[in-house]
Amino acid sequence: MTVISIDALRAEAEELTRGIADGEPLDALGTALVTLAASASVTALDRAQMDAAIARCFDAGATVAQVQEILALTSGLGVHTLMVSASAVLAAASARGLIDAAAPFDAERQALWDRHVGTDPFWTGFSAELPGFLEAMLRLSPDIFTGFFEYCAIPWRSGTVRARIKELAALACDAAPSHRFRPGFRVHLKNAVALGIGRSAIMQTLDIAAAAPEHRGTD
């Protein structure tokens, strides 16, 4: 198993952003929301820092809806379990003759695939980082597949926080010391660049991520 360090992720970000403009740094509200994401992530869940970040968000002018939207986004880290495990479960089940991993999708599964994945560039990008996980998830359980997409869509459907801040919040969570989820890190980093976010805000986000507390238990 490859050990992924914070320094390695930062080096990857520096390489990808080489040559792009520095742009504007995060403003007070953006900084507060990204910091909240990093401290409230399930891989940190630090009450003191979370409380401080919530206060900082409201002091910077955040609405209740914006705070909740960032927390909904952050809570979605739980789906990484499904992303990483789906192909392994499918392979093990197939080896035991419990499922036919090569069978064409039935009508229900094909309709779900067309509705939720199709040619969406976001999921094309994620599939490039974790090949086969969406197909495996759908083969294993249409209900879980549907729930996965419904839950992931919540913070993007509400839209009270700008997409650029949500991408940076997700980037911070994936780069945090207790998580270092490279597939998501790469996807959100590329999305941030595609949205025109400058090098300054991206590196500021990685600084916030590096300072996120490791999970020490929740009282």
Query: What ranges do the domains of the chain cover?
Result: 6-78+156-210, 81-153
Q: What is residue 170's predicted lDDT score, i.e. its pLDDT?
A: 97
Residue type, 85: S
Question: What pTM did the predictor assign?
Answer: 0.94
* Longest CA pairwise span in the chain (Å): 58
Share the mean pLDDT of the chain: 95
Write the CB contacts of 123 (distance below 8 Å, at least 6 apart in sequence).
116, 117, 134
Per-residue pLDDT of 125-181, as tens digits, reads 999 999 999 999 999 999 999 999 999 999 999 889 999 999 999 999 999 999 999
Per-residue pLDDT of 186-207, as tens digits, reads 999 999 999 999 999 999 999 9
Q: What is residue 1's predicted lDDT score, i.e. its pLDDT?
A: 60
Residue of 196, 216, 171 whose CA lies nearest to 6? 171
pLDDT, average across residues 69-86: 95
Q: What is residue 14's predicted lDDT score, i.e. its pLDDT?
A: 96
Q: What is residue 215's predicted lDDT score, i.e. its pLDDT?
A: 82
pLDDT, average across residues 81-99: 97
**6-78+156-210 in CATH: which number?**
1.20.1290.10
Residue of 122, 42, 32, 30 whose CA lies nearest to 74? 42
